């Protein structure tokens, strides 16, 4: 019986693995919100795939089947996120059954019963069976366990029999998908001419000088863009701007924050807990039983809060300390001394300089820039200020490069970790450290420490009382009832200085979160309701620890693309076109060498040199990767100069200094192999996109859940 339960457990894992594999093959995970068929929706079609309508009842039946199987395997009910994931799995199964099956049938692909038997207990065992029936200790597969399980299948509970049937169905789907995918990969072909062209693009090198006037050299505010210009640009580039159904809102939040009385009550409670912790026979058990949040018994400096790092310096073994408040949580600590750990902690700051791309020239440029910053710091420049303005790590840059404490257990990349933990004293590491992320300039602020502090900790979070919640709702409800239009909404916000308006633009219909608001599905559903008009105000929504009142400020329609749907992007494009015209007019007709032309143009014209660039990965210092400029320069002969032309980010005149042709080779097999592997790795994704596009999928799930 124990073996059967074990197999049941494993087969459930295998079903999940196969299902996830299938989903990833198709589209990946795209979670939906809570299930709710409300609002009197008369259209009971949840979607359409390849001309076939999917009724909500059929869809829900499949979701229920997945849920029953999942709950039978896990032994518990699903949470909302898990249920949303199963709905997504059910939808993708419909896509397989309808759109993919058409492709499978056209190619005559199938998995016969004999093939299934061979996959389960024959000579070509499925990887999923191998995983489900292998010994977890030794990893050895036991075919007899599979056979015995199948012999006893009819004696097992009905739910387990259903589970096995579902498992076998997944095996068939996995195999036919694998056949289809392999067929596509094996049909990939790269001709010699293409391999040769790629080889030449990668290995032909050029040195160029160029005049470059970037768009940003002209101040945006000096270029006026009209709505008619935006309309004209959109009309000419309609295919580049795909419409989507989205909504934009503004909203105010009425947070449910603990009141003074709530804080006082908790403070008194934790003082009682402190007395109990001081006299507890087993302080770790007492702390674990009474803490709202799990806290480790042995803490290094790396996992202590800043407040505790300072406080622990004065702790005496046996003492109870606190309460300390951090946000809405009070902490008390009982200290029981220290011990030495095998893992060390250290603290450091860094400035990260990344290359623009993976080309040698880009890496060289990044190294030069990093060495320049390091030289400035060694000469006395402020590390924190340079980190804030120069580091490519946004998380630490805003803290002056500070990474806080971390351990030498792989938390940081190896070169970085080795440099920090080999430092014998705090201070600047006088060399660049290179990792896969770029070049690091590192300042060690606390050298390695392998001390562990034994601390029994209790954390109690202040929870708002019902009276506090009621008061927050009363304010939100009073606000919502006093405003009916956007104009009234704005006036009420202006009158109440405590309210702050937040904006959420282009919210998709399937969204579950809005900015930092979790579980905002009901707000999204309100915004997409047919009777929600522009400038109308919502009712009060409750989301976690706050109440929300929103006003609908914008709509976009996938079948009717408007300028306002892409106003910022279109404005940038049109403004750059106008700048290009202005720059070109000023440069046109200029004669002489590049320096003479730049001098005549005036401020904003840059003269730069790019050495040994290739057509495939060429990088221009200030302009970055500009395929138009690269194409122009590789079409020149040595000593030739282009006319004025517009690139990706500015206006150019290119001059070719010299060009070294790629060395002649007779065998392009390696190049063909690289291109083939690259194409094979993308084939599954590309064909999936083609199948989905051809199926003309209409997904209306967001109207029901």
For 520-585, give the DSSP string: -HHHHHHHHSTT--TTBB---EEETTEEEEEEEEEEEBTTB--GGGGHHHHHHHHHHHHHHHHHHH
Query: Does the pLDDT of residue 40 top 70, yes or no?
Result: no
Q: Are residues 281 and 411 both part of a single domain?
A: yes
Query: Does the pLDDT of residue 15 top 60, yes or no?
Result: no
> For the whole model, what pTM was predicted?
0.59
- The answer as to whether 367 is a domain residue is yes
Least confident range from 243-257, 293-307, 554-568, 645-659: namely 293-307
Q: Are residues 643 and 619 both part of a single domain?
A: yes
How many Å apart are CA 610 and CA 621, to the nearest integer? 7
- The answer as to whether 693 is a domain residue is no
Task: State the pLDDT at residue 18.
Answer: 46
Phi, then psi, of 536 in degrees rounded to 5? -85, 155
Average pLDDT over residues 535-561: 92
Residue ending a domain, choose from 463, 494, 526: 463
Task: State the pLDDT at residue 510.
Answer: 86
Residue ending a domain, choose from 539, 560, 581: 560
Average pLDDT over residues 324-331: 87
DSSP-derived letter for residue 96 is I
Query: Does the pLDDT of residue 182 top 90, yes or no?
Result: no
- The answer as to whether 695 is a domain residue is no
Residue ending a domain, choose from 560, 583, 606: 560
Per-residue three-class SS string for 645-703? EECCCEEEEEEEEEEECCCCCCCCHHHHHHHHHHHHHHHHHHHHHHHHHHHCCEECHHH
Count: domains in the chain: 4
Query: Does the pLDDT of residue 511 top 80, yes or no?
Result: yes
- The answer as to whether 667 is a domain residue is no
How many Å apart are CA 650 and CA 212, to the nearest integer? 7
How many Å apart are CA 470 and CA 227, to the nearest integer? 48
Query: Does the pLDDT of residue 16 top 80, yes or no?
Result: no
Structure token pair of residue 310: 């300072």
Q: Are residues 50 and 80 both part of a single domain?
A: yes
Task: State the pLDDT at residue 73.
Answer: 67
Please say whether the beta carbons of 465 and 262 come within 8 A.
yes
Least confident range from 217-221, 536-540, 689-693: namely 689-693
Q: Are residues 149 and 162 both part of a single domain?
A: yes
DSSP-derived letter for residue 26 is H
Q: Are residues 275 and 415 both part of a single domain?
A: yes
Domain that holds residue 34: 2-186
Task: State the pLDDT at residue 42.
Answer: 59
Q: What is the CATH number of the domain that holds 417?
A: 3.10.50.40
- The answer as to whether 688 is a domain residue is no
Q: Are residues 282 and 252 both part of a single domain?
A: no
Please say whether the beta carbons of 361 and 352 come within 8 A.
no
Q: Are residues 284 and 371 both part of a single domain?
A: yes
Structure token pair of residue 664: 């002649």
Q: Are residues 544 and 583 both part of a single domain?
A: no
- The answer as to whether 79 is a domain residue is yes
Average pLDDT over residues 126-145: 82
Task: State the pLDDT at residue 350.
Answer: 96
Query: Does the pLDDT of residue 362 top 80, yes or no?
Result: no
Query: Does the pLDDT of residue 685 top 90, yes or no?
Result: no
How confident is the model over 43-94, as pLDDT tens digits? Answer: 789 999 999 999 999 999 989 888 887 777 677 788 777 888 888 889 988 9
Q: Are residues 87 and 134 both part of a single domain?
A: yes
Structure token pair of residue 355: 């290359």
pLDDT range class, residue 495, cuts 50, 70, 90: very high
Q: What is the CATH number of the domain that holds 493?
A: 3.10.50
Structure token pair of residue 399: 């803290």
- The answer as to whether 362 is a domain residue is yes
């Amino acid at each position: 019986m124990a073996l059967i339960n074990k197999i049941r457990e494993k087969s459930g894992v295998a079903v999940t693995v196969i299902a996830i594999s299938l989903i990833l093959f198709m589209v990946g995970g795209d979670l939906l919100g809570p299930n709710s068929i409300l609002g009197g929706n008369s259209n009971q079609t949840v979607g359409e795939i390849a001309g076939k309508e999917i009724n909500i009842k059929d869809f829900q039946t499949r979701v229920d089947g997945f849920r029953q199987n999942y709950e039978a395997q896990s032994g518990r009910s699903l949470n909302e996120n898990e249920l949303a994931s199963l709905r997504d799995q059910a939808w993708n199964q419909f896509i397989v059954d309808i759109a993919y099956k058409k492709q499978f049938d056209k190619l005559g692909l199938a998995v016969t019963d004999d093939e299934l038997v061979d996959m389960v207990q024959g000579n070509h065992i499925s990887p999923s069976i191998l995983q489900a029936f292998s010994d977890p200790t030794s990893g050895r597969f036991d075919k007899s366990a599979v056979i015995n399980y199948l012999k006893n299948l009819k004696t097992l509970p009905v739910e387990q029999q259903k589970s096995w049937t579902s498992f076998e169905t997944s095996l068939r789907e996995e195999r036919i998908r694998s056949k289809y995918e392999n067929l596509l990969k094996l049909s990939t072909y790269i001709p010699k001419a293409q391999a040769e062209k790629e080889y030449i693009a990668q290995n032909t090198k050029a040195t160029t000088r160029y005049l470059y006037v970037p768009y940003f050299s002209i101040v945006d505010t000096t270029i006026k863009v009209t709505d008619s210009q935006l309309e004209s640009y959109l009309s000419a580039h309609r295919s580049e701007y795909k419409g989507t159904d989205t909504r934009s809102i503004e909203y105010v939040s009425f947070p449910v924050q603990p009141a003074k009385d709530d804080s006082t009550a908790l403070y008194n409670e934790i003082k009682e807990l402190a007395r109990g912790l001081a006299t507890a026979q087993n302080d770790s058990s007492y702390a674990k039983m009474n803490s709202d949040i799990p806290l480790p018994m042995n803490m290094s400096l790396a996992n202590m809060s800043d407040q505790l790092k300072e406080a622990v310096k004065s702790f005496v073994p046996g003492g109870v300390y606190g309460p300390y408040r951090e946000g809405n949580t009070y902490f008390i600590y009982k200290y029981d001394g220290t011990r030495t750990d095998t893992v060390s902690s250290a603290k450091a700051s860094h400035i990260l300089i990344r290359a623009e791309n993976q080309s040698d020239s880009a890496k060289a440029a990044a190294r030069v820039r990093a060495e320049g910053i390091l030289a400035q710091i060694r000469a006395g420049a402020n590390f924190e200020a340079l980190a804030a303005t120069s580091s490519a790590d946004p998380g630490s840059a805003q803290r002056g490069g500070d990474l806080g404490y971390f351990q030498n257990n792989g938390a940081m990349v190896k070169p970085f970790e080795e440099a920090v933990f080999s430092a014998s004293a705090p201070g600047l590491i006088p060399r660049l450290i290179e990792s896969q992320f770029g070049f690091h300039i590192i300042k060690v602020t606390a050298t390695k420490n392998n001390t562990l502090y034994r601390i029994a900790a209790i954390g109690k979070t202040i929870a708002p009382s019902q009276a506090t919640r009621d008061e927050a709702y009363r304010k939100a409800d009073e606000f919502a009832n006093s405003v009916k239009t956007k104009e009234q909404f704005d006036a009420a916000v202006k009158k109440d200085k405590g309210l702050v308006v937040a904006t959420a633009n282009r919210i998709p219909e399937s969204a579950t979160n809005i900015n930092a608001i979790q579980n905002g599905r009901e707000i999204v559903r309100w915004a997409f309701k047919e009777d929600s008009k522009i400038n109308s105000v919502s009712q009060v929504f409750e989301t976690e620890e706050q109440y929300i009142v929103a006003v609908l400020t914008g709509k976009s329609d996938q079948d009717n693309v408007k300028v306002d749907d892409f106003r910022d992007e279109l404005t940038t494009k049109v403004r750059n076109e106008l700048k290009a015209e202005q720059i070109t007019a000023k440069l046109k007709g200029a004669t002489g060498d590049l320096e003479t032309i730049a001098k005549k143009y005036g401020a904003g014209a840059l003269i730069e040199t790019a050495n040994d660039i290739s057509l495939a990965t060429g990088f221009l210092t200030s302009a970055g990767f500009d395929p138009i400029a690269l194409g122009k320069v590789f079409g020149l002969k040595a000593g030739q100069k282009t006319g004025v032309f517009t690139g990706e980010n500015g206006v150019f005149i290119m001059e070719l200094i010299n060009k070294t042709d790629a060395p002649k080779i007779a065998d392009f097999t390696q190049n063909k192999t690289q291109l083939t592997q690259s194409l094979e790795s993308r084939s599954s994704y590309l064909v999936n996109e083609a199948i989905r596009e051809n199926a003309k999928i209409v997904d209306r799930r967001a109207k029901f859940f």
